[in-house]
Chains A and B, each alone.
Chain A
Amino acid sequence: MNRIHDLDEVQFRQVHPDFVLKGLPSRKAFMPKKEHGWKLSMCRSASTSAKDFFHSYTKMGLKSFGVYGVTPRELAEEPNPIECFSSPSRRNPNHSHADFSGLSSKQIKLKADDMCEKAISRGRLHP
């Protein structure tokens, strides 16, 4: 598990259709879970495209409104900076994650909010 050094490499995130209304995703789509060690699952653009990520995800029978993205530089901004790490798995060799584990529950909500806004600003990447 290595820190992603290219701070401008977009990290992809799938957003479930029920987390989208009027084209706007909920911040809940960017909230990490305690059972995952407060790590939010993402996918590296360095090794796959938004289109391929979307198709491989939906091919597994999972629903997605689309792929959004943020960069490690955006996530490292104050307040509550966090880092991104490459964490390939058998199921997804392009897997990465954003690590929220150093934040309090309030800070996690604020950071997820901020992440959501940045993703919205970038726009849906696919489809």
Chain B
Amino acid sequence: MVMRMTNGQDDRSKGGGNAMADGRGKSLVLRFVGDRFADADLPVDMLSDLKVLGDLVVALAKREFLRRHPERREVPPGFDEAVSLVLGEVGKGSAMPKLNYRGDAARRMFPDFADELEEVVYSSFDRVAFIYDAASHDDIPEFLSTKEIKAMSGIGANMRKGEYMEFQDKKGRDGKVVRWSRERRDNFVELYQRERSRARERGARTIKFKGTGPLVGIDTMRNSIQIQTSEHGCIWLPLDGLSQKISRFDGNLSASINFSANIALKANGKFKSVEKVHSAEIDRTCSDGVLECIERLSELSKLEKGWLGEGDGESISPLAVSRAMHLIYTRSHLADLYLIYPTEEGGISIEFREMPWRYAAEMMPDGAIEIDSSSRDGEYFELRSFSDLSNDFFMAFDEMTARIGNEQNS
């Protein structure tokens, strides 16, 4: 049985309707390709896929909202209804259903932050495309729960061989439109099951870990220092039994620390605890570029509220500074290019150029990060958002800046 929806206008079937094409995009536009999807035909068994996608957007919107509001433990009642999507028209030219965010419920139920909910939903559109792009390149998105991964892998189960679905106007890491098919879905499910099986066999375990990261905290009562690492986030290292005294680290916040420790990992590979610290030393070998960046961050940290004049300009968030430091240390090969600025909202903007390209990594006051780049020739690397400096972030950052290395080496 085929369900024929209201036909879309021809010009909309050319991929319009998303953020870049329509200005303030309000729809997640998909395109199903295959004989069954001719014109605006959408088989009824595909509707369950659209529901899964809609539910995933809601789950991501919840996550994003809570990230923006760390003071909350849960979303307010009615949140799901407020951010839910509706199936609008199905465009022609191979079925192109549009999942629309109307915002009426949000404006009615949460008038004080309806605008914020709109931003949250739109960022979730990008996030969902990012997830499928990662999955189609055999990356299991780390931040998703087991339940969410099972849900996302439901999409595509009803597709036939040769059929596929595209996220219109959403480009993946290979520069092409993000695509999902039955084959990709089956590969991903197999990969995920294999990883789970391996994790179960491994179980929780302890490894010897050597790392480097900026010093972001000192606790003299517990004789411990806190380091921000790219692999395991912020971790505390107790210095008991080491020759290094905690007083050695005093006054060296933001310094790069090299350390070695036994750390316990959970069965899923995620960090559990530090079991024993073997060594922790201040790295004195930073390049001039890195030192200059750290000095600049230190200056900006001292900006007081109202620095922009007429009461504008928030003081710079320590979390934003910490994120910036971490990026500078872990991607220190670009330190000579980094230009570091404050943002009015209290974040840090790291901008750099390798003409004709311009790059930016913005650390928000709440610790989220956005990266994007554009060239004078009109090309751009689509803006991506991350809640922290995860592996996903570094993969995207390295992808964005890959050409800098090539140009420097050529």
Q: Once bound together, how far apart are the Cα atoms of A103 and B122, in whole Å? A: 14
Contacting A27 at CB < 8 Å: which of B309, B360, B378? B360
Contacting A22 at CB < 8 Å: which of B19, B339, B372? B339
Contacting A21 at CB < 8 Å: which of B119, B339, B378? B339
> Are B20 and A18 in touch, CB under 8 angstroms?
no
Q: Once bound together, how far apart are the Cα atoms of A34 and B360, in whole Å? A: 21
Chain B interface residue count, CB cutoff 8 Å, equals: 34
By a CB distance below 8 angstroms, the chain A residues around B360 are 27, 109, 113
Tell me, rounded to whole Å, the shortest Cβ–Cβ distance linking A50 to chain B. Answer: 19
Give B204-217 as 1s and 0s: 1 = Cβ < 8 Å from A's Cβ atoms: 00000000000000
> Are B20 and A105 in touch, CB under 8 angstroms?
no
Contacting A104 at CB < 8 Å: which of B24, B300, B307, B340? B24
| Chain B, residue nearest A57 (CB) | B309
| Chain A, residue nearest B300 (CB) | A18
Contacting B341 at CB < 8 Å: which of A18, A61, A78, A110? A18
| Chain A, residue nearest B25 (CB) | A104
Contacting B20 at CB < 8 Å: which of A27, A106, A113? A106
User: Does any Cβ of A come within 8 Å of B168's Cβ?
Assistant: no
Q: Once bound together, how far apart are the Cα atoms of A62 and B310, in whole Å? A: 8
> Are B339 and A117 in touch, CB under 8 angstroms?
no
> Are B349 and A18 in touch, CB under 8 angstroms?
no
| Chain B, residue nearest A21 (CB) | B339
| Chain B, residue nearest A105 (CB) | B119
Q: Once bound together, how far apart are the Cα atoms of A27 and B342, in whole Å? A: 11
Tell me, rounded to whole Å, the shortest Cβ–Cβ distance linking A37 to chain B. Answer: 13
Q: Once bound together, how far apart are the Cα atoms of A106 and B169, in whole Å? A: 13
List 7 A-B pairs, Cβ < 8 Å.
A18-B308, A19-B342, A21-B340, A104-B19, A104-B20, A106-B382, A109-B360
Chain A interface residues toward B at CB < 8 A: 16, 18-19, 21-22, 24, 26-28, 33-34, 61-63, 78-79, 102-107, 109-110, 113-114, 117
